[in-house]
């Protein structure tokens, strides 16, 4: 057996060296596209980076102004250059990975604007297959390491890194909570997003999106701490804002407990931010229901319409300008 080990070792080592050499060339498989895209954004030379998800990205069909929130902020802050990274379904874990990439590479970013979309902390979003983005996250976190980056792709091919940690079937059986009470399984609630807008379907979504209590031990809450620490270690200023939600619809469909549970969850996160001495702007209960659209995409959800994006972009542009520790921009 010793002979086999002694003969296998140089073969494997040679392959490892060649693999590392291969990745020292410009060759990259498709999984590295997120790096390319992010690098393009960073190459603008801006000092501000805005993260975002579908709430800020999508628009209503009858919107006159179809610009994304990021584009609206960029226009308000022009001629100053602002980089935007926004994709559907992204959450605090993904932002953390992008900030890790920032901390590993040279760039001009000095402040990042991070949305805290409280529904991405729900089991509904956080555990949903296809929404953990483990591959994208691994590439961003390890893609700058000279050796690790060479083996990310093989690791993914051999299922050492999986896009999701659970299957759709397992997800469908996860519990849904209404406050502390377990009221059913995810499969009974999550399918509502593919149905027509009715009070029942919207209520199901709001319950599964917002009414599960979260704790400081939640993995996405911990991601906030890591993100802040990474920023602070590299002299980047993290600015957080809590994204607006359709609280009026929530109160209409669920009652006062809707706001009560959300506020309790927001407090958990605010406490963490305060603990790190980081500023945040709570916009959760600021926009009335006519600033949202629910039905304009392939799935039901409360996304901002033109009115909502314009209002939010104005607030955020002001936040970046006035409250920034970088001073007036």
Interacting stretch for another protein, rule CB under 8 A, among 1-9, 90-98, 196-204, 218-226? 1-9
Q: Return the structure tokens found at 129.
A: 């297959």
Between 103 and 134, CB nearer to another protein = 134
Binding track, positions 106-145, relative to another protein; x by CB under 8 A: -----------------------------x----------
- In terms of CB distance, is 7 or 79 closer to another protein? 7
14 binds another protein (CB under 8 A): yes
Dist CA 173 CA 186 (whole Å): 6
The residue from 64, 78, 146, 158 that contacts another protein (CB under 8 A) is: 158
**Under rule CB under 8 A, residue 18 binds another protein:** yes
DSSP string, 216-236: TTSHHHHHHHHHHHHHHHTTP
Strands 82-86 and 48-52, sheet pairing: parallel
Examine residue 6 and tell whether it contacts another protein (CB under 8 A). Answer: no
Q: Cα separations (Å) of 66 from 56, 78, 79, 138, 324?
A: 11, 18, 21, 32, 28
Residues 6+ apart with CB under 8 A from 122: 208, 209, 210, 212
Residue 9 binds another protein (CB under 8 A): no
Minimum distance from CB of 10 to another protein (Å)? 7
Residues 306, 60: contact at Cβ < 8 Å? Answer: yes
**DSSP characters for 79-96?**
TS-EEEEE-TT--HHHHH
Residue 167 or 322: which CB sits closer to another protein?
167
CB of 205 to another protein, least distance (A): 25
Query: Smallest gap, in angstroms, from Cβ of residue 152 to another protein?
Result: 10
User: Binding to another protein by residue 31, rule CB under 8 A?
Assistant: yes
CB 207 to another protein: min, Å: 25
Distance between CA atoms of residues 206 and 119, nearest Å: 9
């Amino acid at each position: 057996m010793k002979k086999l080990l002694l003969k296998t070792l140089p073969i494997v080592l040679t392959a490892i060296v060649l693999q590392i050499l291969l990745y020292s060339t410009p060759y990259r498989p498709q999984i590295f596209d997120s790096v390319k895209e992010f690098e393009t954004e960073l190459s603008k030379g801006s000092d501000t980076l805005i993260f975002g998800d579908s709430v800020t990205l999508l628009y209503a069909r009858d919107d006159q102004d179809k610009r994304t929130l990021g584009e609206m902020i960029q226009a308000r802050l022009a001629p100053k250059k602002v980089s935007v990274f926004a994709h559907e379904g992204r959450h605090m874990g993904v932002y953390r990975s992008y900030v890790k990439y920032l901390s590993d590479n040279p760039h001009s970013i000095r402040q990042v604007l991070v949305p805290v979309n409280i529904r991405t902390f729900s089991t509904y979003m956080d555990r949903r297959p296809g929404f953990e983005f483990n591959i994208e996250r691994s590439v961003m976190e390890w893609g700058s390491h000279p050796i690790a980056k060479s083996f990310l792709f093989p690791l993914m091919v051999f299922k050492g890194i999986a896009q999701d940690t659970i299957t759709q079937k397992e997800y469908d059986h996860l519990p849904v909570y209404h406050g502390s009470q377990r009221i059913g399984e995810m499969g009974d609630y999550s399918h509502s997003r593919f149905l027509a807008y009715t009070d029942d379907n919207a209520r199901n979504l709001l319950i599964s999106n917002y009414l599960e209590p979260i704790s400081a031990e939640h993995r996405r809450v911990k991601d906030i701490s890591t993100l802040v620490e990474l920023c602070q270690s590299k002299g980047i200023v993290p600015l957080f804002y809590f994204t607006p939600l359709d609280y009026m619809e929530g109160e209409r469909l669920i009652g006062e407990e809707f706001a009560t549970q959300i506020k309790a969850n927001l407090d958990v996160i605010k406490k963490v931010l305060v603990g790190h001495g980081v500023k945040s702007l709570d916009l959760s209960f600021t926009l009335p229901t006519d600033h949202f659209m629910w039905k304009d995409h392939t799935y039901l959800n409360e996304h901002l319409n033109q009115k909502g994006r314009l209002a939010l972009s104005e607030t955020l542009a002001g936040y970046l300008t006035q409250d920034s520790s970088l001073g007036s921009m």
